A and B are shown apart, each in its own frame.
Chain A
């Protein structure tokens, strides 16, 4: 526990004033606009939206500016803002099969209908610093080619047709919501997916990597990764019908994992699923791997004691705002706590010292 301590108001005020000045940096350098952050730091904006769990690029950009680029601090600001908003309702589940794809690749099928669309990717870049970017310059518009208007079906659909992969049959059970009810174990898959979608990217990446290195065996292929925009539809009670209330960018990853099978059931591939706000590819793949690892029980696999299989461990430590809140609070005044510990240690030492003196005397 920590105890309220009076005093320090002026120090705090001055610290905040200095923070504002430091945030601005050298006044001879032009100030960053929120629109500049939104348009040019897009992937940071996307991460703040995904982990802040609120899709609003302008707010996320503002939060990044206010947080001096500390993304977890920015996510904290978004989470705090989110709690002030009245909830109008829930959307219909988004149709990712109808996504307008900027990117859509499969690591399992070379010649899939609709093709491999690379999109604006860092893949195949040489990861060499581009010093041309240090100078300002105009960018040429990217080349265009007449798009095929045919829909881009999900890769799992092809495997489904041959019954080679577990199905994901639609249902309409209202999902639990961890922003309304505290996260409790056991967590069903819907709750796990919600927690994973807003989980810390670094934590998710580390856990996903651990599954690849053998801590939970679920050898994964990226069956499909797609990035693009989908329409969001909501039923409006006062109108009596559904309307599109906007469109959001999403990254979806479907993994095709090692098969299960038994005497009664023929062998089938299993699946992991990742869906994240914005262009957040690393996070979406990580989410799919962790989702798959957490499904060991329903797929009849052994619990191997791997961290990524332990739902309680994963879900209770994946939220960076909870984690940072608890971690950072220990820097706040704990004078009374510490005073009592100090007293205890002194007492123990006195007693030990006295005992030694007594032993010496005997």
Chain B
């Protein structure tokens, strides 16, 4: 982001984590943390596309780069809490699990889910990122200047 100030709420952060999690990971962590509550669909999972934009020269006028697949859904728990999910790819069951976590994070289950789902996802994502960054760093060129023979 650069034109809009980033409005970094905890909910934005967890929705982003849930969107990028590897296939099946959110479901597995959620099911290990607690039994799934019953819910009603407000919008059953559907797969669509989002047009990804770039900027000319990296900073200039926006242009349409191409699309990506995204799956979204919305649901309501029996207590009335609403959960939303937008996850990358064509992953309906992952979208369902992500929306459940989003809803439950707004209930008394939040503490538990934060430590057993979100913190795990975050540290896994950070580890993945760090490994790649360290591999990239190992390919960084250390220039040295050849000393010319004559004085």
Q: Is the CB of B130 within 8 A of A273?
A: no
Stretch at the interface among B30-38, B67-75, B105-113: B67-75
B2 in the interface (beta carbon within 8 A):
yes
Q: Is the CB of A246 within 8 A of B20?
A: yes
Chain A residues near B57: list those with CB within 8 A.
156, 168, 254, 271, 273
Q: Is the CB of B66 within 8 A of A115?
A: no
- What is the CA–CA distance of A55 and B72 in the complex, to the nearest angstrom? 16
Contact of A243 among B2, B3, B19 (CB under 8 A): B19
Q: Is the CB of A90 within 8 A of B59?
A: no
Contact of A189 among B61, B67, B84 (CB under 8 A): B61
Q: Is the CB of A90 within 8 A of B69?
A: no
Task: Give the nearest-CB partner of B53 in chain A.
Answer: A93
- What is the CA–CA distance of A173 and B55 in the complex, to the nearest angstrom? 11
Chain B residues near A208: list those with CB within 8 A.
none
Chain B residues near A246: list those with CB within 8 A.
19-20, 68, 70, 87-89
B65 in the interface (beta carbon within 8 A):
yes
A147 in the interface (beta carbon within 8 A):
yes
A33 in the interface (beta carbon within 8 A):
no
Known contacts: A88-B49, A115-B141, A234-B86. The answer to whether A147 contacts B59 by CB under 8 A is no
Contact of B50 among A146, A178, A232 (CB under 8 A): A232
- What is the CA–CA distance of A154 and B86 in the complex, to the nearest angstrom? 30
Known contacts: A144-B134, A175-B63. The answer to whether A87 contacts B53 by CB under 8 A is no
A326 in the interface (beta carbon within 8 A):
no
Chain A residues near B87: list those with CB within 8 A.
245-246
- What is the CA–CA distance of A86 and B49 in the complex, to the nearest angstrom? 6
- What is the CA–CA distance of A66 and B64 in the complex, to the nearest angstrom? 28
B139 in the interface (beta carbon within 8 A):
yes
- What is the CA–CA distance of A34 and B73 in the complex, to the nearest angstrom? 27
- What is the CA–CA distance of A86 and B134 in the complex, to the nearest angstrom? 39
Q: How many residues on chain B are close to A (CB under 8 Å)?
A: 59
B137 in the interface (beta carbon within 8 A):
yes
Chain A residues near B15: list those with CB within 8 A.
243-244
B1 in the interface (beta carbon within 8 A):
yes
B140 in the interface (beta carbon within 8 A):
yes
Q: Is the CB of B56 within 8 A of A146?
A: no
Chain A residues near B61: list those with CB within 8 A.
168, 170-171, 173, 175, 189-190
Q: How many residues on chain A are close to B (CB under 8 Å)?
A: 85
B interface, over-half SS: mixed
Chain B residues near A247: list those with CB within 8 A.
20, 88
- What is the CA–CA distance of A87 and B47 in the complex, to the nearest angstrom? 9
Contact of B63 among A96, A170, A191, A232 (CB under 8 A): A191
B54 in the interface (beta carbon within 8 A):
yes
B44 in the interface (beta carbon within 8 A):
no
Q: Which of B1-48 contact A (CB under 8 A)?
A: 1-4, 7, 9, 11-12, 15-16, 19-20, 46-48
Q: Which of A29-74 contact B (CB under 8 A)?
A: 49-50, 53-56, 58-59
| Candidate in A56, A110, A172, A252 with the most chain B CB atoms within 10 angstroms | A56
Chain A residues near B69: list those with CB within 8 A.
54-56, 59, 85
Task: Give the nearest-CB partner of B69 in chain A.
Answer: A56
Q: Is the CB of A96 within 8 A of B53?
A: no
Chain B residues near A96: list those with CB within 8 A.
54-55, 58
A241 in the interface (beta carbon within 8 A):
yes
Q: Is the CB of B65 within 8 A of A244?
A: no
Q: Is the CB of B62 within 8 A of A93?
A: yes
B79 in the interface (beta carbon within 8 A):
no
B52 in the interface (beta carbon within 8 A):
yes
- What is the CA–CA distance of A82 and B84 in the complex, to the nearest angstrom? 24
CB distance from B66 to the nearest CB of A (A): 4
B123 in the interface (beta carbon within 8 A):
no
Contact of B137 among A95, A117, A242 (CB under 8 A): A117
Known contacts: A147-B130, A172-B3, A244-B19. The answer to whether A115 contacts B140 by CB under 8 A is yes
Q: Contacts A55-B66, A190-B56, A244-B20 given; 8 further ones with Cβ under 8 A?
A: A55-B69, A170-B2, A190-B61, A194-B66, A239-B84, A246-B70, A248-B68, A273-B57
Q: List 29 A-B contacts (CB under 8 A).
A: A50-B66, A53-B66, A55-B68, A59-B90, A85-B69, A90-B52, A91-B50, A94-B53, A115-B140, A142-B135, A143-B138, A144-B131, A156-B58, A168-B55, A168-B57, A170-B2, A170-B59, A171-B61, A177-B51, A190-B64, A193-B54, A194-B63, A194-B64, A232-B68, A234-B86, A241-B7, A242-B12, A243-B19, A252-B58
What are the 9 closest A-B residue pairs judged by CB atoms, nearest first? A246-B88, A168-B57, A244-B16, A168-B60, A144-B134, A147-B133, A190-B63, A55-B68, A53-B66
